[in-house]
Chain A
Amino acid sequence: MSFDNAYESLIEGGEEKHWAFGTGFTDALAGVDREIPDVDRDDLAAYCLMLGDDALVYAQRLAEWCSRAPELEEDVALANIALDLLGQARMLLTRAGEIQGTDEDTLAYLRDAAEFRNVRLAEIDCGPGPGGDFGTTIARLLVFSTWRLALLDALTGSADPVLAAVAAKGVKEVAYHRDHAAQWALRLAGGTEFSRSRMIAGLDKVWPLTDELFTPHPVELRLAGVAVDPSTLRSEVDSVLDTVLGAADLARPDVPQSPGAGRDGVHTDELGPLLAEMQQVARALPGAVW
């Protein structure tokens, strides 16, 4: 297999099944046995959308750090974390899409903010935009990944085989994300006075959105056995966060909670601009291939 032109190797076999092109993707659950359990199909789709949107929107936020992180290794780390979440999002959106008669791309690119079902913690600007900095970013990663890890771990027992399998894989990935955040939180809190102040400010910024993570949505309650009731995760998440905060000699933020529910499509003003950037090419050139 030798080619004079490096690009020729990309079309070996004459097929367009080569991801290097950026098109011709098979869907994220290609070849997977995707039987649907005996539950309300709309509820199952809505639930897949919730967990998928959490991952998709947060992956997009993390990707904003590409080329802007404080050091090259961190650039790579945040991009890797985003890629893991994007992979989870693709499978979950594909699952939601096949139940609803649509597909992952339509769901990702052609919905408006009010149709997204992610928790608000995933969408807010925690830097590198004006809404935060690296400390805020680590604070969110700590809270989000601690919560998602507990959620996915519980979801491995789901009666939906696809959700259970996506969760089992995700658990291993998000465990690395949580460790990364915890180690950075300790490093920032134990670093200089400045880094410590940024870590504290970061926790203060994200903490008002924590109650929402544990508030069950009617869909989650109706899907007992398939979905996880997030209120059952609180003590485990609190215990992990307390361990990290304790080791970093940081206090739990004492700030009021922000009412609202991303799961109902009620979002902050920060989701719109994020979606505008994520969706602009797909919307400007519908059906384009390259």
Chain B
Amino acid sequence: MSARQVAESVLDPELPVLTLADLGVLREVSEDGGRVVVTITPTYSGCPALDEMRADLHTKLTEAGYADVEIRTALRPAWTTDWISEDGLRKLADHGIAPPQRIGPRAVGPIPLNLAPPVRRVACPRCGSARTTELSRFGSTACKALRRCEDCREPFEQIKEF
């Protein structure tokens, strides 16, 4: 396997249904002779999983026979949920986590203030109903919000747009 294939197969420690490539945190893999340089980017500033990602990448590449591995961190451009792959969005939904919607680049000008939770049609990942409401913008990890389906009444998590 190429170093890129190895790095792309490493799973996210918090959302192990996704690879780091699916999540969009794997930014670059370069191989020069025996030397591999992997560049990743954190999702949120305080995400405690970043160290784990670095360690997992290092371990898997070393196990695959790459002795000289460097993991770099790029803070810029800042990670966005728009970098989650189409495959990643589908895997999230399959595992009961509502995927984020695409948000596109930020508009020029002041950052919009939301005096109410933005109206978003988030489908329930269990029953498919579009009648869901936000319970809390902050969930079990920094990247998730908590919602409830008004039809099947089940709570579910959503990767919030970021």
Contacts and interface: CB of A to CB of B under 8 A. Distances in A.
A51 interface: no
Interface string B16-45: 000000000000000000000001101011
A115 B12 CA distance: 39
B142 A84 contact: yes
A175 B54 contact: no
A102 to B, nearest CB: 21
B130 to A, nearest CB: 22
A87 interface: yes
Interface stretch (A37-45, A73-81, A262-270): A73-81
Interface of B: 39-40, 42, 44-49, 51-52, 54-55, 58-59, 70-80, 110-111, 113-117, 135-140, 142, 146, 160, 162
B103 to A, nearest CB: 10
Given A17-B55, A173-B44, A162 B75 contact: yes
The interface residues of chain B, by DSSP majority, are classed as: loop
Given A15-B59, A243-B113, 17 more contacts: A18-B52, A26-B51, A31-B54, A32-B75, A74-B136, A77-B136, A80-B139, A84-B46, A85-B46, A149-B111, A162-B75, A165-B78, A168-B76, A169-B78, A176-B160, A179-B114, A183-B115
Contacts, number: 127
17 contacts: A15-B59, A18-B52, A26-B54, A30-B51, A30-B73, A74-B136, A76-B138, A79-B138, A81-B138, A83-B142, A84-B45, A87-B44, A149-B111, A171-B111, A172-B80, A182-B113, A247-B115
B73 A32 contact: yes
B114 A182 contact: yes
Q: Lowest 7 CB-CB distances: which A-B pairs, in order?
A: A87-B46, A87-B45, A165-B75, A31-B73, A73-B136, A77-B138, A17-B55
A17 B70 CA distance: 15
B41 to A, nearest CB: 9
Contacts of A113: none
The interface residues of chain A, by DSSP majority, are classed as: helix
A240 interface: yes
A165 B47 CA distance: 16
Nearest to A149: B111
B111 to A, nearest CB: 5
A169 to B, nearest CB: 4
B51 A31 contact: no
A65 B56 CA distance: 33
A244 B115 contact: yes
A169 B117 CA distance: 21
